[in-house]
Amino acid sequence: MTLRLDLLRHGETELGGGLRGSLDDALTDIGWAQMRAAVVDAGPWNRIISSPLQRCARFAEELAETLKLPLHLEPDLQELHFGEWEGRSAAQLMETDAEGLGLFWADPYTFTPPQGEPLPMFSARVLGAVLRLQQAYAGERVLLVSHGGVMRLLLAQARGLPREQLLQVEAGTGRCCRSRSMPGAC
């Protein structure tokens, strides 16, 4: 049996765009509205799994309560830790570390932001969590509330994309991707 995994990225946050990483900022009113709109006519799910960061978890808690579904917060589904780049925009990084940003965008598997989490470790963490979900909830449909990096990784894996194309995968704010099964394309 396969796991049907729908992916939902958090909405707009109080501190705005840029590399949020492990920063734990809250959703704005717009972010809440984006997420609520994304799940209209979606589901039904058997359960909700969420990153514990509040930009994901608060919405997941609300939705789980509304739908009367079990909720599990999974630390391994947190965003990539960007180290010294956390909270900074690409424009800011172009002024201070254009070379590093270019290397990261060209192949994030071979360049790690200063004091950041290496992408191979992030990938192993996230894929390990999904494997545990597949084993625990085979045959179910699960909503995973998480982050752009997590969505990109899972979608790139499902589509069989080369690792250099990871950052080309679109994972818009407040976007819900409904899967047919995992592994598989949305």
* Mean of the per-residue pLDDT values of the chain: 92
Average pLDDT over residues 141-146: 97
Q: Examine residue 145 and state whether it is found in any structural domain, yes or no.
A: yes
Contact 120, 109 (CB under 8 A): yes
Parent domain of 56: 4-177
User: Which residue from 67, 71, 79, 63 is spatially nearest to 137, judged by alpha carbons?
Assistant: 71
Specify the number of domains making up the chain: 1
- Say yes or no to pLDDT of 163 above 90: no
The predicted structure's pLDDT at residue 185: 34
Q: Please report whether residue 184 resides in a domain.
A: no
Q: What is the CATH number of the domain that holds 54?
A: 3.40.50.1240
With respect to residue 186, please indicate whether it lies within any of the assigned structural domains.
no
